[in-house]
Amino acid sequence: MNEIQRALIISKILNKTYPKIKVPLKSRNVFTLLISVLLSAQCTDVNVNNVTKNIYPKYYKPKHFKKLGRKKIEKLIKKIGIFRIKAKSIYNLSKLLIEKHKGKVPKTFEELEKLPGVGHKTASVVMSQGFGFPAFPIDTHIHRLAQRWGLTNGRNVIQTEKDLKRLFPKKNWNKLHLQIIYYGREFCKARDCYGLTCKICTTCYPKRKKPLITKKA
Protein backbone atom coordinates (compact mmCIF):
# COMPACT_ATOMS: atom_id res chain seq x y z
CA MET A 1 0.00 0.00 0.00
CA ASN A 2 1.47 3.38 -1.01
CA GLU A 3 0.88 6.80 0.53
CA ILE A 4 -1.80 7.75 -2.02
CA GLN A 5 -3.79 4.61 -1.18
CA ARG A 6 -3.38 5.31 2.53
CA ALA A 7 -4.58 8.89 2.04
CA LEU A 8 -7.77 7.63 0.35
CA ILE A 9 -8.44 5.14 3.17
CA ILE A 10 -7.83 7.81 5.80
CA SER A 11 -10.19 10.25 4.06
CA LYS A 12 -12.96 7.62 3.96
CA ILE A 13 -12.57 6.74 7.65
CA LEU A 14 -12.45 10.38 8.73
CA ASN A 15 -15.48 11.37 6.63
CA LYS A 16 -17.47 8.45 8.04
CA THR A 17 -16.39 9.18 11.61
CA TYR A 18 -16.82 12.96 11.39
CA PRO A 19 -19.22 13.85 8.53
CA LYS A 20 -19.75 17.24 10.14
CA ILE A 21 -17.12 19.04 12.16
CA LYS A 22 -17.18 22.04 14.48
CA VAL A 23 -14.39 24.53 15.05
CA PRO A 24 -13.14 23.67 18.57
CA LEU A 25 -12.16 27.21 19.57
CA LYS A 26 -15.10 29.50 20.24
CA SER A 27 -14.87 33.05 18.96
CA ARG A 28 -16.99 36.11 18.26
CA ASN A 29 -15.23 37.35 15.12
CA VAL A 30 -11.97 36.86 13.23
CA PHE A 31 -10.05 38.97 15.73
CA THR A 32 -11.19 36.88 18.71
CA LEU A 33 -10.42 33.73 16.72
CA LEU A 34 -6.87 35.04 16.28
CA ILE A 35 -6.62 35.68 20.02
CA SER A 36 -7.98 32.23 20.88
CA VAL A 37 -5.52 30.47 18.56
CA LEU A 38 -2.67 32.46 20.07
CA LEU A 39 -3.86 31.49 23.57
CA SER A 40 -4.14 27.81 22.62
CA ALA A 41 -0.35 27.33 22.35
CA GLN A 42 0.66 24.83 25.07
CA CYS A 43 -2.93 24.87 26.32
CA THR A 44 -6.10 22.86 25.66
CA ASP A 45 -8.97 24.27 23.62
CA VAL A 46 -11.30 23.57 26.55
CA ASN A 47 -9.22 25.74 28.88
CA VAL A 48 -9.06 28.54 26.30
CA ASN A 49 -12.85 28.44 25.81
CA ASN A 50 -13.43 28.47 29.58
CA VAL A 51 -11.32 31.60 29.92
CA THR A 52 -12.51 33.50 26.84
CA LYS A 53 -16.22 32.96 27.52
CA ASN A 54 -15.84 35.63 30.21
CA ILE A 55 -13.76 37.94 28.00
CA TYR A 56 -15.33 38.09 24.54
CA PRO A 57 -18.78 39.37 25.54
CA LYS A 58 -17.06 42.60 26.62
CA TYR A 59 -13.70 42.68 24.82
CA TYR A 60 -13.69 41.65 21.16
CA LYS A 61 -11.88 44.38 19.20
CA PRO A 62 -8.23 45.47 19.04
CA LYS A 63 -9.13 48.83 20.58
CA HIS A 64 -10.57 47.04 23.62
CA PHE A 65 -7.32 45.19 24.33
CA LYS A 66 -5.17 48.23 23.64
CA LYS A 67 -7.20 50.18 26.18
CA LEU A 68 -6.94 47.36 28.73
CA GLY A 69 -3.13 47.30 28.64
CA ARG A 70 -0.81 44.39 29.35
CA LYS A 71 -1.38 44.06 33.10
CA LYS A 72 -5.17 43.86 32.83
CA ILE A 73 -4.91 41.40 29.95
CA GLU A 74 -2.64 39.27 32.16
CA LYS A 75 -5.33 39.19 34.87
CA LEU A 76 -7.96 38.12 32.35
CA ILE A 77 -5.93 35.19 30.99
CA LYS A 78 -3.92 34.19 34.08
CA LYS A 79 -5.41 30.66 34.09
CA ILE A 80 -3.72 29.97 30.74
CA GLY A 81 -0.12 28.78 30.38
CA ILE A 82 2.65 31.35 29.76
CA PHE A 83 -0.02 34.05 30.19
CA ARG A 84 2.44 36.93 30.57
CA ILE A 85 4.08 36.25 27.21
CA LYS A 86 0.68 35.83 25.58
CA ALA A 87 -0.66 39.02 27.18
CA LYS A 88 2.30 40.94 25.75
CA SER A 89 1.63 39.50 22.27
CA ILE A 90 -2.10 40.29 22.48
CA TYR A 91 -1.45 43.86 23.53
CA ASN A 92 1.23 44.47 20.89
CA LEU A 93 -0.69 42.85 18.03
CA SER A 94 -3.81 44.86 18.99
CA LYS A 95 -1.77 48.06 18.75
CA LEU A 96 -0.30 46.99 15.41
CA LEU A 97 -3.71 46.12 13.96
CA ILE A 98 -4.96 49.60 14.87
CA GLU A 99 -1.85 51.41 13.61
CA LYS A 100 -1.28 49.48 10.36
CA HIS A 101 -4.52 47.69 9.49
CA LYS A 102 -7.29 50.03 10.64
CA GLY A 103 -8.25 47.58 13.37
CA LYS A 104 -8.86 44.73 10.92
CA VAL A 105 -7.20 41.31 10.84
CA PRO A 106 -5.22 41.06 7.57
CA LYS A 107 -6.22 38.39 5.07
CA THR A 108 -2.77 37.22 3.96
CA PHE A 109 -0.25 34.82 5.47
CA GLU A 110 2.51 37.39 5.03
CA GLU A 111 0.76 40.12 7.01
CA LEU A 112 -0.56 37.76 9.68
CA GLU A 113 2.87 36.31 10.35
CA LYS A 114 4.25 39.80 10.95
CA LEU A 115 1.97 40.20 13.97
CA PRO A 116 3.50 39.62 17.45
CA GLY A 117 3.10 36.03 18.64
CA VAL A 118 1.68 34.81 15.33
CA GLY A 119 3.55 32.01 13.59
CA HIS A 120 2.70 30.06 10.46
CA LYS A 121 0.43 27.59 12.25
CA THR A 122 -1.62 30.34 13.91
CA ALA A 123 -1.85 32.22 10.61
CA SER A 124 -2.98 29.02 8.87
CA VAL A 125 -5.81 28.48 11.37
CA VAL A 126 -7.01 32.07 10.96
CA MET A 127 -6.85 31.88 7.17
CA SER A 128 -8.70 28.56 7.23
CA GLN A 129 -11.31 29.04 9.95
CA GLY A 130 -11.58 32.82 9.85
CA PHE A 131 -11.49 33.55 6.13
CA GLY A 132 -12.24 30.15 4.55
CA PHE A 133 -8.97 30.17 2.63
CA PRO A 134 -7.60 26.65 1.91
CA ALA A 135 -4.87 25.99 4.46
CA PHE A 136 -3.49 23.01 6.36
CA PRO A 137 -2.40 24.07 9.86
CA ILE A 138 0.13 21.61 11.27
CA ASP A 139 0.48 21.27 15.04
CA THR A 140 2.43 18.67 16.99
CA HIS A 141 -0.56 16.29 17.00
CA ILE A 142 -1.09 16.32 13.23
CA HIS A 143 2.68 16.00 12.75
CA ARG A 144 2.64 12.86 14.92
CA LEU A 145 -0.44 11.33 13.27
CA ALA A 146 0.80 11.96 9.73
CA GLN A 147 3.90 9.89 10.60
CA ARG A 148 1.89 7.08 12.18
CA TRP A 149 -0.32 6.91 9.12
CA GLY A 150 2.58 6.87 6.65
CA LEU A 151 1.85 10.24 5.06
CA THR A 152 5.18 11.94 5.82
CA ASN A 153 8.70 11.11 6.99
CA GLY A 154 8.39 13.46 9.96
CA ARG A 155 11.44 15.55 9.10
CA ASN A 156 9.71 18.72 10.32
CA VAL A 157 6.30 20.42 10.33
CA ILE A 158 7.14 22.27 7.10
CA GLN A 159 7.69 18.98 5.29
CA THR A 160 4.57 17.49 6.86
CA GLU A 161 2.47 20.40 5.60
CA LYS A 162 3.88 19.99 2.07
CA ASP A 163 3.23 16.24 2.10
CA LEU A 164 -0.37 16.53 3.31
CA LYS A 165 -1.16 19.27 0.82
CA ARG A 166 0.23 17.07 -1.94
CA LEU A 167 -1.77 14.00 -0.91
CA PHE A 168 -5.18 15.55 -0.23
CA PRO A 169 -7.41 17.72 -2.49
CA LYS A 170 -7.23 21.44 -1.71
CA LYS A 171 -11.00 21.66 -1.23
CA ASN A 172 -10.74 19.22 1.70
CA TRP A 173 -7.86 20.81 3.62
CA ASN A 174 -9.88 22.95 6.03
CA LYS A 175 -12.24 20.17 7.09
CA LEU A 176 -9.56 17.49 7.05
CA HIS A 177 -7.30 19.42 9.41
CA LEU A 178 -10.05 19.42 12.05
CA GLN A 179 -11.05 15.82 11.37
CA ILE A 180 -7.48 14.65 12.01
CA ILE A 181 -7.32 16.61 15.29
CA TYR A 182 -10.60 15.14 16.54
CA TYR A 183 -9.67 11.61 15.47
CA GLY A 184 -6.30 11.85 17.20
CA ARG A 185 -7.89 13.02 20.43
CA GLU A 186 -10.49 10.27 20.42
CA PHE A 187 -8.91 7.22 18.79
CA CYS A 188 -5.20 7.67 18.05
CA LYS A 189 -3.83 9.20 21.23
CA ALA A 190 -0.09 9.64 21.70
CA ARG A 191 0.06 7.31 24.73
CA ASP A 192 -2.72 4.91 23.85
CA CYS A 193 -2.75 3.78 20.24
CA TYR A 194 1.02 3.86 19.54
CA GLY A 195 0.15 3.17 15.90
CA LEU A 196 -1.27 -0.25 16.76
CA THR A 197 -4.93 -0.14 17.76
CA CYS A 198 -7.07 2.52 16.03
CA LYS A 199 -8.93 1.78 12.80
CA ILE A 200 -6.71 3.97 10.62
CA CYS A 201 -3.47 2.44 11.96
CA THR A 202 -4.71 -1.16 11.72
CA THR A 203 -6.14 -0.62 8.23
CA CYS A 204 -3.07 1.12 6.83
CA TYR A 205 -0.58 -1.11 8.67
CA PRO A 206 -2.22 -4.48 9.45
CA LYS A 207 1.15 -6.18 9.96
CA ARG A 208 2.61 -3.55 12.32
CA LYS A 209 3.52 -5.24 15.62
CA LYS A 210 5.76 -2.77 17.43
CA PRO A 211 4.86 0.76 18.63
CA LEU A 212 5.92 3.43 16.14
CA ILE A 213 8.27 6.07 17.48
CA THR A 214 7.48 9.40 15.82
CA LYS A 215 9.75 12.41 15.43
CA LYS A 216 8.82 15.51 17.35
CA ALA A 217 7.91 18.71 15.57
- Which pLDDT tens digit goes with each residue over 194-211? 999 999 999 999 999 999
Tell me what the mean pLDDT of segment 13-42 comes to: 96
Mean per-residue pLDDT over the chain, rounded: 96
Same domain, 8 and 36: no
Catalytic residue among 22, 61, 86, 121: 121
Backbone dihedral angles phi then psi of residue 60, each to the nearest 5 degrees: -145, 10
- Looking up residue 165, the CATH number of its domain turns out to be 1.10.1670.10
Same domain, 41 and 11: no
Write down the pLDDT at residue 216. Answer: 85
* Residue 192: active-site member: no
- The domain boundary residue, chosen from 130, 151, 170: 130
Q: What is the pTM of this model?
A: 0.93
Catalytic residue among 66, 86, 139, 163: 139
**To the nearest 10°, the Cα dihedral for 196, 175, 158, 156?**
-20
**8 A C-beta contact, residue 28 and residue 53:** no
Same domain, 183 and 114: no
- With a pLDDT cut of 90, the percent of the chain lying above it is 93
**To the nearest 10°, the Cα dihedral for 135, 144, 8, 205?**
180
* Residue 114: active-site member: no
- The domain boundary residue, chosen from 65, 95, 130: 130
pLDDT tens figures, 46-83: 999 999 999 999 999 999 999 999 999 999 999 999 99
